[in-house]
Structure 1
């Protein structure tokens, strides 16, 4: 009787093993023929490729003779003499001032850089150059700095800045574009800076 019991047990184990092998085999087979589609997502601060841009023309202030495209739907605020457009982690800041002399790489290095160094937390990686946009030659200052602490999360973001100094007939318009250092906003910032024009 004991021998028969052992025989039944061995047969039962063999059946279980066969079933298990069959299940695992079918699972690996189906996994090789179908894979889940990758999830698309933008890194924090990336401006979407389908972003729409609209023309901004100042309606008041000391100087209104220019236009520039800004991302549609961004929140607008006036901060002193500057107009600021923001969305999440990105910012477009426009400042118009009187300036008898055209800015140069030397004047921006000796005047603007020290000012920003005292104003921007952890200011670093400053580079001044002259570049060409559709409106003509312009002085570009790139740098990095920490954002203000988020009042809700308490987090601080490391930002990259592009500051363009446009000048004509005694007027200077400074266009500052900023967003997280790891965001890929080369094309959006080129659209904005290329759209600047005098009128």
Structure 2
């Protein structure tokens, strides 16, 4: 299902039937411990591997439980170049049981001059086979 943030700027395909919530400026689509977080960020320069390591990763690490960085690289997707940060972290506690699940996370930062940055963060339980679904979501990203 194609989705655009309020005010437009880009589209991305998100799984149908997943619940949608708003967390500040981000929209999060979830199904159990799988999620796709979509956020538009004000930026005047393109992210780089070094800027993500210096700025974004420390903030993510501080906000996460059991954070472990895997790598930060530049990747090409159908909608353009992105900086990809891969890491592990625990999920937020389940509202009923309080249980946390270890997650694999991929965070893509896309940039377009004049439009800013679009950040797609995909997460799922460690070891789950999310390669194809995550590739479908990230390859569907398009600036409008």
TM-score higher than 0.5 here? Answer: yes
Residue 97 of structure 1 and its aligned partner are, at CA, apart by 1.4
Which structure is higher in RCO with an 8 Å CA cutoff and minimum separation 6?
2
2:34 to 67, 70, 90: 90
Residue 104 of structure 1 and its aligned partner are, at CA, apart by 0.3
User: Are 1:113 and 1:126, in contact at CA under 8 Å, matched by a contact in 2?
Assistant: no
Alignment coverage as a number of residue pairs: 143
Distance 2:128 2:106 in 1: 13
SS at match of 1:192: helix
Residue 152 of structure 1 and its aligned partner are, at CA, apart by 2.0
2:136 to 191, 194, 198: 191
Distance 1:94 1:173 in 2: 7
Distance 1:150 1:198 in 2: 34
Unaligned segments of structure 2, at least 5 residues: none
Distance 2:70 2:53 in 1: 9
SS at match of 2:133: helix
State whether structure 2 residue 139 is matched by structure 1 residue 179: no
Aligned to 2:4: 57
Unaligned segments of structure 1, at least 5 residues: 1-53
Q: Deviations over 1:30-49 (max 9, x none)?
A: xxxxxxxxxxxxxxxxxxxx
Residue 125 of structure 1 and its aligned partner are, at CA, apart by 2.8
Determine which structure has the larger helix proportion and give its number. Answer: 1
Q: Deviations over 1:116-139 (max 9, x none)?
A: 110010100331000110012110
Aligned to 2:19: 75
Determine which structure has the larger strand proportion and give its number. Answer: 2
Q: Deviations over 1:173-194 (max 9, x none)?
A: 0000001011101000000000
SS at match of 2:12: strand
What's the TM-score once normalised by structure 1's chain length?
Answer: 0.70
User: Are 2:69 and 2:86, in contact at CA under 8 Å, matched by a contact in 1?
Assistant: yes
Aligned to 1:129: 73
Q: Deviations over 1:127-186 (max 9, x none)?
A: 100011001211000000011222322321000100000000131000000010111010
SS at match of 1:71: coil
Q: C-alpha root-mean-square deviation of aligned residues, in Å?
A: 1.0
Distance 1:148 1:78 in 2: 15
